[in-house]
Chain A
């Protein structure tokens, strides 16, 4: 026999609100009563005696809840620049262009650094060039299409990928022999139904991530050209993507013409997070070096910083005097500076923490199409529609 030394009703109509719920046996004014847990809580909070109406209490609790939400929303307003108030202000920057490459005969559309920190590949309307800036070699490959909009260096430094209006992404092995006809060794890897806007190798030479004007991103196996995973979720052209520098190395962010920046899981193809605060097309996305946030540059003339853990925008970099869209963004090595190239031919350098602009760089004669910081952070390169690439260390 079990212990049931007193009769206890555990479920039934509450004495106070008359709803069928699990009951608590409590004592009010020396009499045992059965209340449901909500009524007990309400009563306890208000210190009421038995008999007061619960509906007034309910109304009050709804009021309290609404107020809480309001407060919570207010408390959400912890902005990055507020927290960074105590951080030392950066002095004025003196940034000088050290080198200019003028080999492109057309608008420079895209560039990428090699992991060895001194070589880069750049693409233009017709040609894709790889130039080793501190070393003596240059290759040029003529592409069978106009507007090579995306190019990327493989981690090993031996292979380059590029693509554009031909809807494909092709992979070219590099060799030290200048006379080698690189076009002959080309290998088509990715096939989209619209132009290729961006491409990037993942941690190895074997996988390629691409984004396209057909609104999708895709992960490809380089060797076989097989599609490993596709990412659907944008409702317009995807213009840019960036891989996360995280330990698990499984996510990437993409930005598109639908004003959204989406974070994807490479393994499952799922859209994990989505951010939609921009007012126009997002031209460029780039992860903060720690991988906890990413910055975007958009046609609405602002750059914004989104925190992945807080799941919201934490900073906007804009100025009333800037009215042209930002085409490309990149962080310095420590993440303190954000370099953004704009369509008004300038590059603005923003203090990421404080939200202020620390420098403007003039020097291009047409819109800046791409800005990339070198892997070791010693310099950054900007490519422009004036057919040049400028290298600017400080």
Chain B
């Protein structure tokens, strides 16, 4: 990029410069957007589109900055004035923009304009004040010194310098709120480690709590644990093909997208919902990709071909919406199909469903109705054949067994052996 810039500034073959009037001061060496594009077209014999494209990059990387709307970092092919950025501020020559520099810049701006920092700049300023507080004396001192030195320059120069500095910082500290998170990330490294560890370790506690009600060993299960009562109603109620699922099961779908997909009934429900939203092809595509990944090696080529015809070919009946980069890569890979050729596309669609369709499904009427109608099984009553069974109770929550009933957790091996004969009975 710098070669282009240098040749642009060539006094003979370079850009045509004009003087620009900013209020009452004249700023020399300005050029219009149109001139830039024209020069690029002429010098490199390229199309207008390409010239605009290159020009945009020059602006985005800070080699040229706009004068009228400094925050809008793009090249406009009209009379909008631009200037070259001084090499001092080029990204290649300059040291990495540090917190200290930015703090000095903001302090200068604050002093100069007396609190006219815009919103995100104010936030950054306060954050920096907290973070590098130990250097704040230096920051303020430097800001004052630099301002004082600049006052000794001509007004035009001063304005130019201000513009340059402002442009530099707009490139390096874009006003996106996410950046402050990145800054926080980089500066709070020791703190981050501890926070992260804490978060990760807490996740186990959260997971256990979330699933506790679903863990038959912890909470017992309704109607009863089949292993204890020999009553398989629990399994029947939770089988794959049941018409009305239990409440616990439907609740579990809301824990994570994976839970919903892993349950065949959940998957069916999701498909119904997606059909209403006209995005059912996403789930079908995902399922087809799973089959490719886990299926027989000999059938991969055929399956991939089918997936292509159904989901990826232009004009396909169930075309899935993948971003162009992934689509290109996938189509290229399909020419030599292997087991993982659809992985990128599958991942894309999976996360699309997870972030978009899944939360909406959980909020939908379909899900809420199902949850309301879902069964809460009753505890089974005592068996008709009491003499064949031991003391029976339908799986009480073992964690709450009181002291009188327990016997220190030791199993009763004799009782177990006596039951060996019932092993093969229903």
Interface residues of A (CB under 8 A from B): 1-6, 8, 10-11, 21-24, 26-28, 30, 32, 36-37, 40-41, 43-45, 47, 68, 71-72, 75-76, 78-80, 83-84, 87, 90-102, 117-118, 133-136, 138, 202-204, 206-207, 221-224, 226, 228, 245-248, 267, 288-290, 292-293, 307, 309-310, 314, 332-337, 349, 352-353, 358-363, 373, 376-380, 390-394
Q: Is B227 in contact with A27, judged by CB distance below 8 angstroms?
A: no
Q: Is B411 in contact with A3, judged by CB distance below 8 angstroms?
A: no
B94 proximity list for chain A (CB < 8 A)? 10, 22
Is B145 positioned at the interface, with any CB of A under 8 Å from its CB? Answer: yes
Q: A47-B137, A204-B294 are in contact. Are A394 and B412 (CB under 8 A)?
A: no
Q: List 17 A-B contacts (CB under 8 A).
A: A1-B9, A2-B86, A2-B87, A3-B84, A5-B157, A10-B93, A47-B138, A100-B419, A118-B232, A203-B294, A221-B296, A288-B207, A332-B215, A333-B216, A377-B216, A378-B221, A378-B234
Q: Is B411 in contact with A92, judged by CB distance below 8 angstroms?
A: no
Interface residues of B (CB under 8 A from A): 9, 11, 17, 29, 83-88, 93-96, 98, 100-101, 132, 134-135, 137-139, 142, 145-146, 148-149, 153, 157, 160-161, 164, 189-190, 193-194, 196-198, 200-205, 207-212, 214-218, 220-221, 225-228, 230, 232, 234-235, 238, 257-258, 290, 293-298, 339-340, 343, 347, 350, 354, 395, 398-403, 405-413, 415-417, 419-420, 422-426
Q: Is A293 in contact with B204, judged by CB distance below 8 angstroms?
A: yes
Q: A360-B410, A361-B409 are in contact. Are A44 and B258 (CB under 8 A)?
A: no
B405 proximity list for chain A (CB < 8 A)? 94
Interface residues of chain A: helix, strand, loop or mixed (majority): loop
Q: A11-B93, A138-B424, A203-B294 are in contact. Are A92 and B215 (CB under 8 A)?
A: no
A235 to B98, CA, bound (A): 46
Beyond known contacts A93-B409, A393-B225: 18 more, CB 8 A cutoff: A1-B29, A4-B86, A10-B94, A22-B94, A37-B95, A72-B193, A78-B197, A83-B201, A87-B209, A98-B227, A98-B419, A206-B294, A223-B297, A332-B215, A336-B208, A336-B215, A378-B227, A393-B228
Q: Is A335 in contact with B296, judged by CB distance below 8 angstroms?
A: no
B135 proximity list for chain A (CB < 8 A)? 41, 44-45
A224 to B210, CA, bound (A): 42
A23 to B94, CA, bound (A): 8
Q: Is A289 in contact with B415, judged by CB distance below 8 angstroms?
A: no
Tell me the minimal C-beta distance from A158 to chain B in angstroms. Answer: 15
Residue picked from A92, A136, A337, most chain B C-beta under 10 Å: A92
Q: Give the residue name and chain of the B residue nearest to A22 (CB).
A: B95
Q: A96-B416, A363-B411 are in contact. Are A136 and B238 (CB under 8 A)?
A: no
Q: Is A394 in contact with B398, judged by CB distance below 8 angstroms?
A: yes
Q: Is A358 in contact with B409, judged by CB distance below 8 angstroms?
A: yes
Task: Identify A310's interface contact among B200, B339, B416, B424, CB under 8 A.
Answer: B200
Tell me the minimal C-beta distance from A311 to chain B in angstroms. Answer: 10
Q: Give the residue name and chain of the B residue nearest to A202 (CB).
A: B294
Q: Give the residue name and chain of the B residue nearest to A136 (CB).
A: B424
A292 to B232, CA, bound (A): 33
Q: Is A97 in contact with B218, judged by CB distance below 8 angstroms?
A: no
Tell me the minimal C-beta distance from B418 to chain A in angstroms. Answer: 9
Q: Give the residue name and chain of the A residue nearest to B257 (CB).
A: A247
Task: Identify A337's interface contact among B148, B217, B221, CB under 8 A.
Answer: B217
A333 proximity list for chain B (CB < 8 A)? 211, 214-217
B204 proximity list for chain A (CB < 8 A)? 80, 83-84, 288, 290, 292-293, 314, 335, 352-353
A4 to B145, CA, bound (A): 20
Q: A224-B298, A248-B347 are in contact. Are A337 and B29 (CB under 8 A)?
A: no
Tell me the minimal C-beta distance from A9 to chain B in angstroms. Answer: 9
A22 to B97, CA, bound (A): 12
A348 to B118, CA, bound (A): 62
B297 proximity list for chain A (CB < 8 A)? 206, 221, 223-224, 226, 228
Residue picked from A6, A26, A44, A78, most chain B C-beta under 10 Å: A44
A371 to B413, CA, bound (A): 17
Q: Is B238 in contact with A376, judged by CB distance below 8 angstroms?
A: yes
B403 proximity list for chain A (CB < 8 A)? 92
Tell me the minimal C-beta distance from A2 to chain B in angstroms. Answer: 4
Tell me the minimal C-beta distance from A381 to chain B in angstroms. Answer: 10
Q: Is A377 in contact with B29, judged by CB distance below 8 angstroms?
A: no
B412 proximity list for chain A (CB < 8 A)? 96-97
